[in-house]
Amino acid sequence: MIKVIGTTHLDSKESIEEIIKKENPDVVGVELCESRAIGIFKEATKETKKLNSLLQKITDKIKSKSKEEGLDYGSDMKTILRYASNNKIECLLVDMPILKIQELFSKIPMKEQKGFTKELGEFENQSMSEELNEDEVIRNLKLRYPIAFEFLINMRNLYITNQLLKAKNKYPDKKILVFLGKSHVKQIEVMLNE
């Protein structure tokens, strides 16, 4: 059985641990790939800072904005990795490799990349703790940035779903609890149920 939990990537350690304890899974899954899981506890190195891609700029902006507001971006993922390790629970890394995501991001048309850059500037005036309507965010992304939406949401959702189906086959009698960003949850649940 697979159960998917949506997070904001800002959820507190306590709230994530509470969910895991309540659900008591045999296996946990997290929206990371291997290289991101290895690097999640490290500060950005000179090498990673050299990646002057739009994806890196977006990630850096989100991290610095959350830090300004006293939030820990990725706290959900860190908690899941630590909890799984400390409690000897198998942890699945279900996201597309970051290098593949960066490759896809580089193929987004310049018009859409400029739109993202403009929105990064507007992001400065928003609070990270504001409650977002995930459906509206997804609709706007799909409408304004259709190719980015295809690459960053649809293709990743297909990849993640495939990883989860493999896990279901590997662990047919085990309870698998998967934590994903809220924007991925609905479509992945639909695909899993099909």
The candidate with the shortest Cα–Cα distance to 80, out of 90, 66, 65, is 90
DSSP bridge pairs for 177: 3, 28
Query: pLDDT band at 31, cuts 50/70/90?
Result: very high
Q: How many CB atoms lie within 10 A of CB 159?
A: 17
Which among 96, 106, 94, 97 is positioned nearest to 51, based on CA atoms? 106
Q: Mind listing the pLDDT tens digit for each residue in 52-102? A: 566 777 777 777 777 888 888 888 999 999 999 999 999 999 999 988 988
pLDDT of residue 50: 46
Average pLDDT (157-182) is: 96
Give percent of the chain above pLDDT 70. Answer: 87
Tens digit of pLDDT for each residue in 135-148?
A: 787 888 889 889 98
140-149 long-range Cβ contacts below 8 angstroms, 24+ apart = 144/112, 144/115, 145/108, 145/112, 145/115, 145/116, 147/107, 147/108, 147/109, 147/112, 148/105, 148/108, 148/112, 148/116
Query: What own/partner pairs with CB < 8 Å and gap ≥ 24 does 114-119 have?
Result: 115/144, 115/145, 116/54, 116/58, 116/145, 116/148, 117/54, 117/57
Percent of the chain residues topping a pLDDT of 90: 48
pTM of the full predicted structure? 0.86
Average pLDDT of the segment spanning 11-37: 94
